[in-house]
Amino acid sequence: MASSLISNSHHIDFESVFRLDDAGMVQMFETLIATGLKEFLGCPAVFYEDALTEFFANSSVREDGMVVSTIGGTTIEMSQAMFAAAFELPTEGLIDLTDVPKNFVFDARSLFSDSKEQVSMSCLKKALKFHYRLLHDILAKTIYVKDGSFDCVTRDRFLLMTAITFDIKINWSSLLFGVFKEMVTPDSRQAQGYAIQICVLLRNVPGVELGESK
């Protein structure tokens, strides 16, 4: 389980990517910073395997919306406000992706395309320019935490790529914490991830024995 948790993640060293000799790639990473994801995607790379496994084994969503668990008998409580503050996530902006303006979606269909033809909102990833393929993979694997292959672009990921690229404000606090809650909901089809980010949060919980970071 722990190996799948850490594999469902991209950790970005933003300082190193800005040394890449690829203007399109650098600009894509700059949009991730501008949208408010720098501290989430580029947080300290810590991984407490045993503690994380125990966290997920005992976790659930309480009626007040808090994610709760226990590690070594110590109670863990995580609120959306705590989650947002830890990673400096925007708490205002777009929540419903269907609200992305249609003119931006139209322009994105040409901008993202690796050919002279517009792509559809549900297309094969290989139809995108290379740096937009990487943006898609970051969203699929690290934001939505999808298991397995993601060679096809979904409508939601296309809309989110459009919002990021055209600098539309996104309520990342709501979106990411919503995915997090799905991860700890019994019988949910949501894959579990956010391994590094959860470990960062666990470091700040008094009295929790985490062991050595891998």
**pLDDT digits 0-9 by tens, 79-110:** 999 999 999 999 999 999 999 999 999 999 99
As a three-state string, the secondary structure of 76-88 is EEECHHHHHHHCC
Tell me if 1 is assigned to some domain. yes
CA distances 71 to 82, 178, 186, Å, are: 18, 22, 18
67 with 104, same domain?
Answer: no
Tell me if 175 is assigned to some domain. no
164 with 151, same domain?
Answer: yes
Whether the predicted pLDDT of 3 surpasses 60: no
163 with 203, same domain?
Answer: no
Full residue range of the structural domain in which residue 113 is found: 94-168
What is the pLDDT at residue 211?
Answer: 81
Q: How far is CA 209 from the centre of its chain?
A: 26
Whether the predicted pLDDT of 11 surpasses 70: yes
What is the pLDDT at residue 29?
Answer: 92
Domain count, the chain: 2
Whether the predicted pLDDT of 47 surpasses 70: yes
79 with 101, same domain?
Answer: no
Q: What value does the mean pLDDT take over residues 56-69? A: 95
84 with 101, same domain?
Answer: no
Q: Which of 172, 212, 190 is nearest to 37 (CA)?
A: 172
User: Per-residue pLDDT tens for 155-192?
Assistant: 999 999 999 999 999 999 999 999 999 999 988 888 88
What is the pLDDT at residue 2?
Answer: 52
146 with 103, same domain?
Answer: yes
48 with 127, same domain?
Answer: no
85 with 117, same domain?
Answer: no
Q: How many CB atoms lie within 10 A of CB 122?
A: 12
79 with 102, same domain?
Answer: no
Whether the predicted pLDDT of 40 surpasses 90: yes
What is the pLDDT at residue 14?
Answer: 86
62 with 102, same domain?
Answer: no
102 with 143, same domain?
Answer: yes
Report for 5-9, 140-144, 179-183: range of highest mean pLDDT: 179-183
Tell me if 182 is assigned to some domain. no
Tell me if 63 is assigned to some domain. yes
| Mean pLDDT score across all residues of the chain | 91
56 with 99, same domain?
Answer: no
Question: What are the residues whose beta carbons fall under 8 Å from the beta carbon of 33, sequence distance 6 or more?
Answer: 14
Tell me if 180 is assigned to some domain. no
Whether the predicted pLDDT of 196 surpasses 60: yes
Tell me if 201 is assigned to some domain. yes
Tell me if 77 is assigned to some domain. yes
Tell me if 178 is assigned to some domain. no
